[in-house]
Amino acid sequence: MIGILNRKKDKSTEEQIEEIKCLPDILQRSLLEGESCDYLSNVEGEFGRSPRNPIPVNGPFGEIRYLNSLRTISDVGLIYHRIGSIEVESIKGNVDIFETVSLDNRVWDILFFHMYHPRRSTNTPSSYKKADYDKYFSILPIGFGVTSRDNSFPYGIPKRLIESKEFGSMSEKLAKHLQDSFLNKHDFIRPDDHKRILAEIILKYINKSKDQYRSYTTSEYKELADDAAGKIINPGERTSFQVIFRPKGKSLRN
């Protein structure tokens, strides 16, 4: 029983600091100067699901390793991509926004990360748990996802993995496994409620950070969110998220 409770979930802080030494010097310094913590200070909202309470991790590879370690309550892993980054008041450095879906197509989610820390949080968002540490898979900064946006998510992930030549044959093996074992066996289509959440996040946060787009009244925002929910891309469509943004001064009804 004691052995089960003490199963390792991640590397030690010292080992995680070693991971970031491959990063550019300026990024290394910003991570090492960050707080070693499981939660940011003075947070608001639900852990991992609010931009004001993002998950602390150590750099872009830390985001990948953390996401690789997450499991749903049914013990299923995730596919993921980063849909954007935003500035959040009182938080130093951008907050990254990831869209995720479980490998069995049952759980779609949006998670927020803050990568300017020397180690990864040991905590998990509600409805998730961490997989036991694996001496091979857990050390890899590669998984079933990317740290950029995939416009045909999740069906475009295998191609993106193969295009990433940094990990050679490992990328190809992961891409083939993802395609054959999961993408070919499920119809990955965003549920309507998830599309609405995704649309509202883009409108409220990503849209807000762009100077060329204006703010909206409550009634205009509702109309935009309804419109955006219907325009968010579906698997296989090579459409940009930008279709939901409306330039300043353009009529909402045009």
Q: What is the pLDDT of residues 82-105, one digit of tens each?
A: 988 888 888 999 999 999 999 999
Note whether residue 54 is domain-resident.
yes
Residues 71 and 177 in one domain: yes
Residues 141 and 52 in one domain: yes
pLDDT bucket at 39, cuts 50 / 70 / 90: very high
Domain count, the chain: 2
**Cα angle, residue 210 at apex, residues 204 and 215 outer, rounded to 5°:** 50
Domain boundary among 166, 183, 200: 183
Note whether residue 254 is domain-resident.
no
pLDDT at 177: 95
Average pLDDT over residues 136-140: 71
pLDDT at 210: 44
Residues 56 and 178 in one domain: yes
Domain containing residue 155 = 7-183
Distance CA 145, CA 178 (A): 10
pLDDT bucket at 228, cuts 50 / 70 / 90: low
Residues 12 and 97 in one domain: yes
Residues 102 and 200 in one domain: no
Q: Is 99 helix (H, G, I), strand (E, B) or coil?
A: strand
Note whether residue 253 is domain-resident.
no
Candidates 108, 107, 110, 100; CA nearest to 79 is 100
Residues 234 and 131 in one domain: no
Note whether residue 252 is domain-resident.
no
Residues 81 and 133 in one domain: yes
Copy the structure tokens of residue 236: 């296989």
Residues 201 and 178 in one domain: no
Residues 179 and 196 in one domain: no
